[in-house]
Structure 1
Amino acid sequence: MNNLITTLYAVMDKGPLRALSLMMALALAGCVFWDPSRFAAKTSELEIWHGLLIIWAVCAGVIHGTGFRLRTPRWQGLFSPLIADLILLAGLLFFFF
């Protein structure tokens, strides 16, 4: 399992993918600040756990996008940039479409 996590993290450890992660994380954070009622659990179709996933994805995207390299597979798995980028993309698609 550690080899899989390390391999996936190494695949995502490229400059353009880091820039994409940072741009998507900052864009989604801006969208949440711009129209929080669209992401709120009481005023939209999103649930509480969707908000937690968005917060985690923004944090993981900023960590990955700024160039911070995690060393141990435990932290690489917890802040997986591949999963975070997919959630960031879904959040941006939800906001704009």
Structure 2
Amino acid sequence: MSNLADKVACLHAPMDKALLRALSLILGFFHVAMLMWDPEAYAFAIGGFNSVISPLMIWAICSSMVYGLSFKPYSWYWQILFSPYFSLSILSYLTYAYFY
């Protein structure tokens, strides 16, 4: 691995916990299930789909699956793209918007 990949891996080291991975998977599966069950009700609950929310939601769900299944990308740019910091913050926001 390159030096930059090692630095990004060190930034992700605090997130390398089984409970956080399980939370990531649960949040990802929850939002996929709600979206598939009734897309109109889900869209209404989170404030609607737009050109910002939709891509971020797809990206966060995909990233949560990569992170939750313990896949560790080799290159630094894939590590940043599938960062659990981004995915968990987006999914947490969507969960908050869904319930409140």
Tell me the TM-score normalised to structure 1 length: 0.83
Q: CA deviation at 1:8?
A: 2.3
Matched positions, count? 93
Q: Distance in 1 between matches of 2:93 and 2:54?
A: 12
Amino acid at match of 2:29: L
Structure 2 residue runs of 5 or longer lacking an equivalent are none
Which letter maps to 2:73? L
Q: Percent identity?
A: 33
Runs of 4+ in 1 over 2 A off after TM superposition: 5-8
Alignment partner, residue 72 of structure 1:
75
Which whole-Å CA distance do the structure 2 matches of 1:93 and 1:49 have between them?
Answer: 17
Q: Supply the RMSD in Å over aligned alpha carbons.
A: 1.9
Answering whether residue 28 of structure 2 is matched by residue 25 of structure 1, we say yes
TM-score (norm 2): 0.81
Query: Does structure 1 residue 14 correspond to structure 2 residue 17?
Result: yes
Name the counterpart of 2:43. Answer: 39
Q: How far does the alpha carbon of each residue in 1:11-66 deviate from its partner, in whole angstroms, 9 at most, with x for none?
A: 212211111111111011112112312428xxx54422211100100000011111
Letter in 1 for 2:19: P
Distance 2:65 2:13 in 1: 17
Match of 1:57 in 2: 60
Q: Work out the CA distance in 1 between the residues paired with 2:27 and 2:59.
A: 13
Counterpart AA for 1:39:
A
